[in-house]
Amino acid sequence: MAEMKKNDAITAQEVDFAQWYTDVCRKAELMDYSSIKGFIIYRPYGYAIWEQIQHYLDHKFKETGHENVYMPMLISSSLFQKEKDHVEGFAPECAIVTKGGSNELEDELIIRPTSETLFCEHYAKIVSSYRDLPKKYNQWCSVVRWEKTTRPFLRGSEFLWQEGHTIHETEVEARKEVLDMLEIYNRMGRDLLAIPFATGQKTDKEKFAGAKDTFTIEALMPDGKALQSGTTHDFGTGFAEAFGIKFLGRDNALHPVHQTSWGVSTRLLGAIIMVHGDDNGLVLPPKVAPIQVVIIPIQMQKEGVLQKARELENNLKSLGLRVKLDDSDRSPGWKFSEYEMKGIPLRIELGPRDLTQNLVTIAKRNSGEKLQVSLDELSDKVTMLLETIHGEMYNKALQYLLDHTTDAHSYEEFKEILENKGGYVKMMWCGDQSCEDKIKQETNATSRCMPFNQEPIGDVCPICGKKATKVVLFAKAY
Amino acid sequence: MAEMKKNDAITAQEVDFAQWYTDVCRKAELMDYSSIKGFIIYRPYGYAIWEQIQHYLDHKFKETGHENVYMPMLISSSLFQKEKDHVEGFAPECAIVTKGGSNELEDELIIRPTSETLFCEHYAKIVSSYRDLPKKYNQWCSVVRWEKTTRPFLRGSEFLWQEGHTIHETEVEARKEVLDMLEIYNRMGRDLLAIPFATGQKTDKEKFAGAKDTFTIEALMPDGKALQSGTTHDFGTGFAEAFGIKFLGRDNALHPVHQTSWGVSTRLLGAIIMVHGDDNGLVLPPKVAPIQVVIIPIQMQKEGVLQKARELENNLKSLGLRVKLDDSDRSPGWKFSEYEMKGIPLRIELGPRDLTQNLVTIAKRNSGEKLQVSLDELSDKVTMLLETIHGEMYNKALQYLLDHTTDAHSYEEFKEILENKGGYVKMMWCGDQSCEDKIKQETNATSRCMPFNQEPIGDVCPICGKKATKVVLFAKAY
Tens digit of pLDDT for each residue in B277-334?
Answer: 999 999 999 999 999 999 999 999 999 999 999 999 999 999 999 999 999 989 999 9
What was the pLDDT predicted at A43?
98
Q: Are residues B107 and B255 in the same domain?
A: yes
A39 and B72: CB-CB below 8 Å?
yes
* A393 in any annotated domain: no
What is the domain count for chain B? 3
Q: Is the pLDDT of residue A3 over 60?
A: no
User: What is residue A101's three-state secondary structure?
Assistant: coil
A70 and B42: CB-CB below 8 Å?
yes
Over residues A128-184, the pLDDT tens digits come to 999 999 999 999 999 999 999 999 999 999 999 999 999 999 999 999 999 999 999
The C-alpha of A29 sits at a distance from chain B's nearest C-alpha, in angstroms, of 10
Nearest to A473 by CA among A408, A403, A412, A398: A408
On whether the CB atoms of residues B324 and B291 are closer than 8 A, the answer is: yes
Q: Which residues of B touch A32 (CB under 8 A)?
A: 122, 125-126
What is the C-alpha separation between A66 and B44, in angstroms, rounded?
A: 9
Which of B27, B35, B55, B93 would you mutate first to test chain A, the one with the most A CBs within 10 A?
Answer: B35
What is the C-alpha separation between A255 and A240, in angstroms, rounded?
A: 9
Show which of A276, A310, A334 is a domain's final residue: A276
Percent of chain A with pLDDT over 70: 99
B118 and A71: CB-CB below 8 Å?
no
What was the pLDDT predicted at B9?
87
User: What is residue B457's three-state secondary structure?
Assistant: coil
Q: Is the pLDDT of residue B1 over 50?
A: no
Q: Are residues B356 and B227 in the same domain?
A: no
On whether the CB atoms of residues B94 and A103 are closer than 8 A, the answer is: no
On whether the CB atoms of residues A347 and A297 are closer than 8 A, the answer is: no
Of A36, A44, A72, the CB nearest to B67: A44
Show which of B212, B242, B276 is a domain's final residue: B276
B92 and A102: CB-CB below 8 Å?
yes
Q: Which residues of B touch A70 (CB under 8 A)?
A: 41-42, 47, 50, 142, 160
The C-alpha of A403 sits at a distance from chain B's nearest C-alpha, in angstroms, of 38
On whether the CB atoms of residues A272 and A284 are closer than 8 A, the answer is: yes
Q: Is the pLDDT of residue B6 over 90?
A: no
Show which of B385, B416, B444 is a domain's final residue: B385
Residues in chain A: 478
Interface of B with A in 136-155 (CB under 8 A): 137, 141-142, 144, 146-148
What is the C-alpha separation between B429 and A263, in angstroms, rounded?
A: 56
- At B184, which CATH number? 3.30.930.10
Q: Looking at the complex, does the CB of residue A126 fall below 8 Å from at least one CB of chain B?
A: yes
Nearest to A111 by CA among A142, A86, A78: A142
Q: Is the pLDDT of residue B40 over 70?
A: yes
A73 and B41: CB-CB below 8 Å?
no
What is the C-alpha separation between B305 and B315, in angstroms, rounded?
A: 15
Of A69, A73, A95, the CB nearest to B158: A73
* B398 in any annotated domain: no
- How confident is residue B102, by pLDDT bands cut at 50, 70 and 90? confident
Which amino acid is residue A407, in one-letter code?
Answer: D
A100 and B141: CB-CB below 8 Å?
no
Average pLDDT along chain B: 96
The C-alpha of A130 sits at a distance from chain B's nearest C-alpha, in angstroms, of 14
Region at B42 (left for phi over 0; alpha for psi -120 to 50; beta for the rest): beta
A44 and B32: CB-CB below 8 Å?
no
B94 and A100: CB-CB below 8 Å?
yes
On whether the CB atoms of residues A148 and A159 are closer than 8 A, the answer is: no
What was the pLDDT predicted at A84?
86
What was the pLDDT predicted at A2?
41
Size of interface A-B (CB pairs under 8 A): 160
What was the pLDDT predicted at B86?
86
What is the C-alpha separation between B401 and A235, in angstroms, rounded?
A: 53
Q: Which residues of A touch B244 (CB under 8 A)?
A: none
What was the pLDDT predicted at B466?
97
Q: Looking at the complex, does the CB of residue B104 fall below 8 Å from at least one CB of chain A?
A: no
Q: Looking at the complex, does the CB of residue A130 fall below 8 Å from at least one CB of chain B?
A: no
B32 and A102: CB-CB below 8 Å?
no
Give, as one character, the DSSP assignment of residue B285.
-
* A306 in any annotated domain: yes
Q: Which residues of B touch A121 (CB under 8 A)?
A: 34-35
Q: Which residues of B touch A67 (CB under 8 A)?
A: 44, 47-48
Q: Is the pLDDT of residue A472 over 50?
A: yes
Interface of A with B in 64-103 (CB under 8 A): 67-74, 76, 79, 91-102
**Cα distances (Å, whole numbers) of residue B192 to B221, B294, B384, B394, B402:** 17, 20, 16, 10, 20
A125 and B69: CB-CB below 8 Å?
no
Q: Which residues of B touch A94 (CB under 8 A)?
A: 99-102
Sort strands A424-429 and A405-407 into parallel, antiparallel or unpaired: parallel
The domain of A56 spans: 17-276
Q: Are residues A220 and A343 in the same domain?
A: no
Q: Looking at the complex, does the CB of residue A41 fall below 8 Å from at least one CB of chain B?
A: yes
Q: Are residues B371 and B437 in the same domain?
A: no
The C-alpha of B429 sits at a distance from chain A's nearest C-alpha, in angstroms, of 34
* A400 in any annotated domain: no
- For residue B30, the chain A residue with the least C-alpha distance is A69
A100 and B96: CB-CB below 8 Å?
yes
Q: Looking at the complex, does the CB of residue B291 fall below 8 Å from at least one CB of chain A?
A: no
Report the pLDDT averaged over residues B15-23.
97
On whether the CB atoms of residues B455 and B471 are closer than 8 A, the answer is: yes
What is the C-alpha separation between B92 and B57, in angstroms, rounded?
A: 31
- For residue B329, the chain A residue with the least C-alpha distance is A131
Q: Are residues A62 and A148 in the same domain?
A: yes
- How confident is residue B4, by pLDDT bands cut at 50, 70 and 90? low
Q: Which residues of B touch A120 (CB under 8 A)?
A: none
What is the C-alpha separation between A277 and A283, in angstroms, rounded?
A: 5
Q: Which residues of A touch B102 (CB under 8 A)?
A: 91-92, 94
Q: A300: which residues sit within 8 A by CB, 6+ positions away?
A: A306, A309, A327
What is the C-alpha separation between B177 and B257, in angstroms, rounded?
A: 13
Q: Are residues A149 and A218 in the same domain?
A: yes
- How confident is residue A91, by pLDDT bands cut at 50, 70 and 90? confident
* B222 in any annotated domain: yes
- For residue B156, the chain A residue with the least C-alpha distance is A72
Q: Are residues A298 and A266 in the same domain?
A: no
On whether the CB atoms of residues A71 and A117 are closer than 8 A, the answer is: no
Q: Is the pLDDT of residue B7 over 90?
A: no
Q: Which residues of A touch B158 (CB under 8 A)?
A: 72-74
What was the pLDDT predicted at A5?
56
Count of Cβ atoms closer than 10 Å to residue A55 Cβ: 12
Report the pLDDT averaged over residues A111-122.
97
Over residues B342-373, the pLDDT tens digits come to 999 999 999 999 889 999 999 999 999 999 99
* B64 in any annotated domain: yes
Q: Are residues A244 and A322 in the same domain?
A: no
On whether the CB atoms of residues A228 and A208 are closer than 8 A, the answer is: no
- At A414, which CATH number? 3.30.110.30
B73 and A125: CB-CB below 8 Å?
no
The C-alpha of A94 sits at a distance from chain B's nearest C-alpha, in angstroms, of 5
* B133 in any annotated domain: yes
Query: Packing angle between helix B378-403 and helix B267-276, nearest 10 degrees?
Result: 90
User: What is residue B203's three-state secondary structure?
Assistant: coil
- How confident is residue B84, by pLDDT bands cut at 50, 70 and 90? confident
Q: Are residues B133 and B265 in the same domain?
A: yes
Which amino acid is residue B385, in one-letter code?
Answer: L
Q: Which residues of B touch A35 (CB under 8 A)?
A: 76, 79, 121
Q: Is the pLDDT of residue A367 over 60?
A: yes
A35 and B68: CB-CB below 8 Å?
no
By CB atoms closer than 10 A (0-12, 13-18, 19+), residue A173 is middle
Give, as one character, the DSSP assignment of residue A204.
G
Roughly how many angstroms between the first and final C-alpha of chain A, as a whole number? 33
- For residue B142, the chain A residue with the least C-alpha distance is A73
Q: Are residues A190 and A250 in the same domain?
A: yes
B32 and A146: CB-CB below 8 Å?
no
- For residue B43, the chain A residue with the least C-alpha distance is A69
Report the pLDDT averaged over residues A296-300.
94
Q: Are residues B143 and B51 in the same domain?
A: yes
* B396 in any annotated domain: no
Sort strands B254-256 and B213-220 into parallel, antiparallel or unpaired: unpaired
B98 and A98: CB-CB below 8 Å?
yes
Sort strands B213-220 and B198-201 into parallel, antiparallel or unpaired: antiparallel
- At B307, which CATH number? 3.40.50.800
Which of A54, A68, A73 would you mutate first to test chain B, the one with the most B CBs within 10 A?
Answer: A73
On whether the CB atoms of residues B74 and B95 are closer than 8 A, the answer is: no
Handedness of CA B273, B278, B282, B288 (dihedral sign): negative
Q: Are residues B232 and B163 in the same domain?
A: yes
DSSP characters over B385-450: HHHHHHHHHHHHHHHHHHHTEEE-SSHHHHHHHHHHT-SEEEEEE-S-HHHHHHHHHHH--EEEEE
**Residue B6: strand pairing partners:** none
Of A70, A98, A99, the CB nearest to B47: A70
DSSP characters over A266-315: THHHHHHHHHH-BTTB----TTT-S-SEEEEESSTTSTTHHHHHHHHHHH
- For residue A36, the chain B residue with the least C-alpha distance is B76
A70 and B41: CB-CB below 8 Å?
yes
What was the pLDDT predicted at B3?
44
